[in-house]
Structure 1
Amino acid sequence: MNYDKLRGDLLSAFGPADWKAYEFLVNWIREHDFASRALNVGDTAPDFLLPDADGRLVSSEQLRGEGPLVISFFRGGWCPYCTAELCALQAAKQEFEDLKANLIVLSPDTRNFPRDMKRNFGLDLQVLADVDHGVAMSYGVLFSVPEEIRTYYSSLGIDLGMRHGTSIWMLPLPATYVVDRSGRIRNAFIEADFTIRQEPIEILAALRKLAAES
């Protein structure tokens, strides 16, 4: 499954208000240079313990001890670009497993939202709830949603405070990391434009390179 094609289909459905909000947010994120604050290749990846869609705690330290760990931050099940990305990852899931890699996806969505999203889109991925945005903050990919975008999302019926269980509206930048067994980041993708995601084929290439180096 090709994410870029899915992205093009979604962008083609944009109306004037959508384009205005999209351009505002992307330009605002770039102007504040949030991506430059994110962890990158060579940095130590902070370990974490988060609940999955069924409430079971998942340890990143344990997963990376089993093999390379792929961590993908996404905005939530309400975002069509995020669900398109997850569907693309789902289609490549067997290839990740063949490379002995653990793939986890993190969202600030809490309560029943991760489980409902998995069911609605037929996903068999490890979806973790980044409760109180702690992991996104530790990776440097978190930003506070500007008032203009909060108003726009509210007009669409999207209440991030309710979904996240907090009155403070915050979101992660789209970011994907490949972490080795020692906890070092070996590949990083951080993007200001929330419609752009790393293709699974690129993540798999990074995993194959890591395997060859090992």
Structure 2
Amino acid sequence: MTARDGAEGAGGGPAATHEEAPGPAADRPATKPTAASRTTLSHIMTASDTNLLGTVHGGVIMKLVDDAAGAVAGRHSGGPAVTASMDEMVFLEPVRVGDLVHVRAQVNWTGRSSMEVGVRVLAERWNESTPATQVGTAYLVFAAVDEHGRPRPVPQVVPETERDRRRYQEAQIRRTHRLARRRAIKELRERRIADGLDTDD
């Protein structure tokens, strides 16, 4: 199994159903700095990547994002990692045929077996020396798994710069909001079932 195995079936395994807070140091592998797994994936967009509007299909960009994030998660955790969720994907500018797209990814935060990977998507014309434009951002949560698909511990990420520390803090906020949203939805559904308003999902 590779870091990409199981990514499309994100809701199906035990590792993808929850996020764990950081555990005691004795339960975790050695720490790793942010730079140890930071990765950039570059790809030239062609006519086969376009949608009906003539720009690059959002799904193509999302796959590049997932590929880059999966590589980062696998490198940081030292083994297989599966996509647990995409917390956010924002498209800022359209991507065109002939754009050279750079997908830059890094681990922002780690729990006991989960990792948030932040991704920035930039685009520039393949044959021009103009600065790249940021066209998208995304945040994904990955779970490290063993050969049986069970969660396994990951190294704690160590932010190295002020930007890394800011991203770590922002990732903690996103995690808090994710967990609160899940609890609120679960409680709402349970109340509606108890009141006889919902009989199934």
Q: Into which bin does the TM-score normalised by the smaller protein fall?
A: under 0.3
Q: TM-score, normalised by structure 1?
A: 0.26
Q: Which entry has the higher C-alpha Rg, 1 or 2?
A: 2
Structure (1/2) with the larger helix percentage: 1
Q: TM-score, normalised by structure 2?
A: 0.27
Structure (1/2) with the larger strand percentage: 2
